[in-house]
Amino acid sequence: MTLTGYDVAHLMLLLGVLLLAARGVGEIFRRMKQPAIIGEIVAGIFLGPSILGNLFPQVHAFFFKSSPAAMLAIQGITQFALVLLLLISGIEVDLARAIKQGRSALLTSLFSFIFPFAIGYGAGYFFAPQLGLQQGSNTVVFALFLGVALSITALPVVARTLMDIGIFNSEVGLTIIASSMFIDFIGWLIFSVILSMLGQSMTPYGFTGTVLLTFAFVGFTLLIGRKIINKMIPFIQEKLSFPGGILNFIFILGLFAAAFTEYIGIHAIFGAFIMGIAIGDSPHLKEQTRENIQQFITNIFAPLFFISIGLRADFVNNFNGWLLLIYLLLAFGTKIIGSSFGAFLGGFKKYDALIVGFGMNSRGAMEIILGLLALQFNVINEQVYVVLVLMALITSLSSAPLMSIFIRKSPSFIKPSKLLKPKQVIISSARTVEEVIKELTQLAADDLRMKPEIIYNDVMQRESELPTGIARAIAIPHARVAIANPFIAAAYVSAGIDFSAADEIPANIVFLLLTPMKKNELQLEMLAGLARFASVANVAEFAAQPDAKALHQKLIAILETVERK
Amino acid sequence: MTLTGYDVAHLMLLLGVLLLAARGVGEIFRRMKQPAIIGEIVAGIFLGPSILGNLFPQVHAFFFKSSPAAMLAIQGITQFALVLLLLISGIEVDLARAIKQGRSALLTSLFSFIFPFAIGYGAGYFFAPQLGLQQGSNTVVFALFLGVALSITALPVVARTLMDIGIFNSEVGLTIIASSMFIDFIGWLIFSVILSMLGQSMTPYGFTGTVLLTFAFVGFTLLIGRKIINKMIPFIQEKLSFPGGILNFIFILGLFAAAFTEYIGIHAIFGAFIMGIAIGDSPHLKEQTRENIQQFITNIFAPLFFISIGLRADFVNNFNGWLLLIYLLLAFGTKIIGSSFGAFLGGFKKYDALIVGFGMNSRGAMEIILGLLALQFNVINEQVYVVLVLMALITSLSSAPLMSIFIRKSPSFIKPSKLLKPKQVIISSARTVEEVIKELTQLAADDLRMKPEIIYNDVMQRESELPTGIARAIAIPHARVAIANPFIAAAYVSAGIDFSAADEIPANIVFLLLTPMKKNELQLEMLAGLARFASVANVAEFAAQPDAKALHQKLIAILETVERK
């Protein structure tokens, strides 16, 4: 078989059209502040059987049916793109961070996986025909597939969402990330095993052999291969041409791993994903290398893959509203309940656990890739494929707004700027530490309906252990007391009081911070927030404020600036 | 047709193996100071039928014959790579610079093309069977092909060679570059027409129709398309995501142009090349964009194409020493004679014309691409293909050393550091312009066996028209006299003599420069070289030299530093 002149012309035309459509619609979505990848998928739905195929069947046939050889080449390029996508997903996985989150991440991922998986399996087993089992396919395989489909969480989407809403580095954020990594890993492992069960792959090793080989591959790559790669990367980055050398090293490893896993009977992308984890784990990998790869893949290869999603099925004639509703209920329900429950067991409070739940709900590209494979292997019908693509889009897009609702309510995300009320800001003429703390604890006692002496004693006790002068004329006396919510008050002391700050500058701004007894971290976060205030505040500005009200506004403005960073 | 699991695995394996071999051997060559691309071609010869196929036919068959679908996908990817390579070659063409070189470039390219083409055509027509006509193929087509094959010059290789030996920006260098551009353009145009003559392309327009459409395409792209693109680039670079937006814009245009030319019956790469010229001509195209594209293509796509060259034929069993010798004689002879003659007519002196001739002799990747197409279309047999690949490598690798021989002899490349002999450097106690010039002209007269008065009068005449104090205590009195080769002498004058320099600093270093009568440019170049010396020299360093010998060494050291820049 060779490509004829017509095939070559058609291949170039198709690549041009697909890139143009994918990037064009992708750019439009990006400008509407939506992820470009959704635009790329939408472009595929337009060019595919759904719209173009229904409206102009002859144009559609010219593009996608007139040159089978060109289509085969496009398929090859799309497969290459898919392997590269999973490779980069693996590189984004930070094993060390996942392990560090430890118990909370383990419990979260456990329930975030098991609960949707169990429900999905049960539903798939008992209601296979209603849920879209492909005729003639195996019910158990379908049930297993549905279990995995419900329990997937898409790490790349999750990471981007957490960065967008600014909680990536919080404990909640890190737990979500770590749990997604575990789930990604387990999900692909199980799904690969399912594929090998189908017997449609060419494995000569039988089901057990494939499973054993898979574990051997994962063990070898993540334990031994990872260390070898880590030793080779500095050599390659320094001795070979840069970035060509390292780029090719990573591509080659990814391709070999993909080929190996496909040969042993599980899918190519699993190998690429695991190899990506092993590569991305190296601390020697330069940030520039990561970026080069990312650019390379996201600019040309990813659009070609994402547009191919919409080309596979007729989204109009295969649209089934009821099926979509059932899948959405199952997806949202099982994932949010499972993840939140796990996070709760892992030590998170109610609202934080819910944030974890909604955060884990993004299915993203992973779900779509899974659906595509299931469609290819005849596990599901086209209706389910369409539902899965839509479910992936809806869960991913709804994740950020739903998380935001609970972030506003969660104590972990309460910021000093939200706590400092106007009546808790005073201009004080105090001259000693004792005087100003007495004034501030009185404010607290009034607000919290507690005896002022108790608070005063706690705060002075803390002050005597270690003075709380921060620097740049700011002091933050504080204590943990028997209250439910944190409390902040502030005083401007024109005279300046010596709080033994390291820079020896007397304090003009004194914050009183009271936090609930057992919430050690909350206290640390609030202290850190106020300390950041110290690093940017200019005391002269406060001296210029005419009264307590103006002073309050000024304090809030600076706190908000600091917190946005 | 769809790819099975085995096809996917095999495709990934092949891509991995090809990238590994290409980049591996490429890196080895790079470390031996040879072009990486030659290593990539060599890797293909090893993996292909030549070595692996002969030694381990079963391994070779496993890689390249066990999955026809994967091979078709690889072919598609290689075609994509080829189109991208020509696109980047086109982008490297600088139309404005080519036109600027004007007459000399036009004459050079004219003869550099016509002479090899005529000899090639004649030889191909009368000795077709001996020169490797594919049995059953058309003699006229073969003769035309041979004409183009001999007259090709590979712009990318030429440009890199000129940079390596440091004459890119000389008049000779720019003429070579400009001529290569013209020839690239004409060569591809004629070859594309030849391909359409073969009737193997699916053109529905007939030969005349195809030629007319080709001219229409070239005219439109280079005249109107170029301007539209130039208007669009700033918008895309600023308004769309960077560099994804512009990268895709360029890829999409290249792909569409490639598809268009292939549809009208000439080869895809011609369209990509012309579109590349139109894109590269835009002054708005950011350097970073150029680099991104370059990186993108050279790191992954180019190695995949270059390794495929060696995979196509058995270089061992098809090696024909006599045929290679004849082709080498034809290639070297016709190209060097034609180009040198053209350059000579264009106003270059003997040695410079020869430098142009050897510079234009690089066939590079262009020849190989041409050979590949001719092989695919059954114009040539495998023996000729092998010869063409080797001829391309030999002409390209020999270009720099052969040019260097004549660069050492050419007056255009004679540098002050090469001319200043130890005995022509003195420490002088002169106190006036006249005194120091008299001393220096005496040195010149002794060396050149001329009357000192004649030289003295010429130099003083020039000095009276415009004083020759440069700046920073350097003066360069000079004249054109009746000599064959330029002459330089230098004096260190501790007292300092006023040569009316713009910075009013008296001169401590005085160069005497004498150049042959009619060589205006040589004088300007030498003056420029000595003036650059003035811009870096520190006069205090010369005062510290104990004698004329040490002074000479110091002068040479600085001149060489300046000339290397």
The answer to whether A107 touches A346, Cβ cutoff 8 Å, is yes
Same domain, yes or no: B545 and B436: yes
Q: Biggest alpha carbon distance in chain A?
A: 92
**Is this prediction's pTM over 0.80?**
no
Q: Does residue B291 sit at the A interface (CB-CB below 8 Å)? A: no
Q: What percent of chain B has pLDDT over 90?
A: 35
Average pLDDT over residues B291-303: 83
Contact call for A295 and B292, based on CB within 8 A: yes
Tokens of B465: 């028209």
Per this entry, what is the length of chain B? Answer: 565
Query: In chain A, which residue's Cα lies nearest the Cα of B262?
Result: A9
Contact call for B243 and A27, based on CB within 8 A: no
- Please say which residue of A412, A445, A462 terminates a domain: A412
Q: Does residue B303 sit at the A interface (CB-CB below 8 Å)? A: yes
Of A418 and A106, more confident: A106
Omega within 30 of 0 (cis) for the link into A401: no
Same domain, yes or no: B402 and B529: no
Residues in contact with A69: Cβ distance below 8 Å, sequence separation at least 6, in sequence order:
A1, A3, A4, A7, B1, B72, B76
pLDDT tens readout for residues A350-385: 889 999 999 999 998 888 888 988 888 888 999 999
CATH number at A216 reads 1.20.1530.20
Distance from CA of B524 to the nearest CA of A (A): 40
Three-class DSSP category at B472: coil
| In-domain check, residue A2 | no
Q: Which ipTM value was assigned to this complex?
A: 0.72
Omega within 30 of 0 (cis) for the link into B156: no
Q: Does residue B259 sit at the A interface (CB-CB below 8 Å)? A: yes
What pLDDT shows up at residue A224? 95
Instruction: Quote the number of domains for chain B.
Output: 2
Q: Does residue A57 sit at the B interface (CB-CB below 8 Å)? A: no
Distance from CA of A146 to the nearest CA of B (A): 22
| In-domain check, residue A496 | yes
Contact call for B23 and A74, based on CB within 8 A: no
Nearest CA among A55, A51, A54, A70 for reference residue A310: A51
User: How far are the Cα atoms of A137, B349, B497 from residue B269, in angstroms, in the given order?
Assistant: 47, 37, 64
Q: A-contacting residues of B 504-563, CB under 8 Å? A: none
- Please say which residue of B374, B408, B442 terminates a domain: B408
What pLDDT shows up at residue A533? 82
Nearest CA among A101, A176, A89, A93 for reference residue A359: A176
Average pLDDT over residues A71-88: 89
**Start-end of H helices in B408-494:** 416-419, 433-448, 452-465
Chain A residues close to B34, C-beta within 8 Å: none
Contact call for A16 and B75, based on CB within 8 A: no
Same domain, yes or no: B49 and B189: yes
Average pLDDT over residues A266-284: 87
Amino acid sitting at position B209:
G
In three-state form (DSSP H/G/I as H, E/B as E, the rest C), the secondary structure along A380-421 is: ECHHHHHHHHHHHHHHHHHHHHHHHHHHCCCHHHCCHHHHCC
Average pLDDT over residues A14-26: 94
Distance (Å, rounded) from C-alpha B346 to C-alpha B108? 7
Query: In chain B, which residue's Cα lies nearest the Cα of A21?
Result: B252
pLDDT tens readout for residues A432-490: 999 999 999 999 988 888 889 889 998 998 888 888 888 888 899 999 888 877 889 99
pLDDT band for A22, please (50, 70, 90 cuts).
very high
Contact call for A13 and B259, based on CB within 8 A: yes
Contact call for A83 and B296, based on CB within 8 A: no
Tokens of A457: 């004693």
pLDDT tens readout for residues A483-524: 877 889 999 998 889 888 888 888 999 999 998 887 777 788
Q: Does residue A288 sit at the B interface (CB-CB below 8 Å)? A: no
Average pLDDT over residues B455-483: 88
pLDDT band for A15, please (50, 70, 90 cuts).
very high
Same domain, yes or no: A389 and A505: no
Same domain, yes or no: B360 and B427: no
Same domain, yes or no: B426 and B391: no
Contact call for A256 and B74, based on CB within 8 A: no
Count Cβ atoms within 10 A of the Cβ of residue B104 and give its class: 0-12 exposed, 13-18 middle, 19 or more buried: buried
What pLDDT shows up at residue B564? 66
What pLDDT shows up at residue B200? 52
Same domain, yes or no: A353 and A379: yes
Q: Does residue A219 sit at the B interface (CB-CB below 8 Å)? A: no
Average pLDDT over residues A9-30: 92
The answer to whether B206 touches B389, Cβ cutoff 8 Å, is no
Query: In chain A, which residue's Cα lies nearest the Cα of B7?
Result: A76
Range of the domain at B424: 414-564
pLDDT tens readout for residues A317-352: 999 999 999 999 999 999 999 999 999 998 898 889
Chain A residues close to B20, C-beta within 8 Å: 248, 252
| In-domain check, residue B436 | yes
pLDDT band for A263, please (50, 70, 90 cuts).
confident
Contact call for A16 and B202, based on CB within 8 A: no
Residue B473: pLDDT over 70: yes
| In-domain check, residue B73 | yes
Average pLDDT over residues B432-454: 90
Token pair 């009183």 is at which residue? A512
Residues in contact with A173: Cβ distance below 8 Å, sequence separation at least 6, in sequence order:
A162, A167, A359
Residue B28: pLDDT over 80: yes
In three-state form (DSSP H/G/I as H, E/B as E, the rest C), the secondary structure along A121-138 is: HHHHHHCCCCCCECCCCC
Neighbours of A563 (CB within 10 A): 15
Same domain, yes or no: A227 and A180: yes
Three-class DSSP category at A481: strand
pLDDT tens readout for residues B163-191: 777 787 778 888 898 898 888 778 878 87
Same domain, yes or no: A242 and A219: yes
The rounded mean pLDDT for chain A is: 87
Same domain, yes or no: B344 and B447: no
Contact call for B77 and A74, based on CB within 8 A: no
